[in-house]
Amino acid sequence: MRSLLYAIAAGAMFAAGESDPAGTTALQLEVGQSAPVSAAPGANLLCDDPGVVASDFAEDGDGFVLLALKPGTTLCGVWLVGQKPGGLYRVTVTARSSDAGTEPIADGGLDGGPI
């Protein structure tokens, strides 16, 4: 019973995003960047928010590639054959640094003054 309570508490902390499990690798990407993730043949890669990063097979056949789609954070896990955990990655995606300050003006630049 005690281990069940610890599991529930750990799940609540994880769901709250307070901390990731021990051994989680942090990846920092900008929108449009990609990062390789090594994995054994037959492995799968799943992310909790596929809108933040997309995964695809690496061209060399050695694992996967994560492509940053939009700013945010997601936890991605590698699952080996037999559904054995193969590694966790906390991926944080930020806006491109070249996009800073290029957001459109909300009112289209009109100040309501005389023409």
| Helix intervals (H) in the chain | 2-16
CATH class of 21-96: mainly beta
Q: pLDDT, tens digit, for every residue of 70-108?
A: 999 999 999 999 989 999 999 999 999 876 555 544 444
DSSP state of 44: E
Q: pLDDT, tens digit, for every residue of 32-80?
A: 999 999 999 899 999 999 999 999 999 888 899 999 999 999 999 999 9
- Round to whole Å and give the CA distance between 17 and 15: 5
Q: pLDDT, tens digit, for every residue of 66-79?
A: 999 999 999 999 99
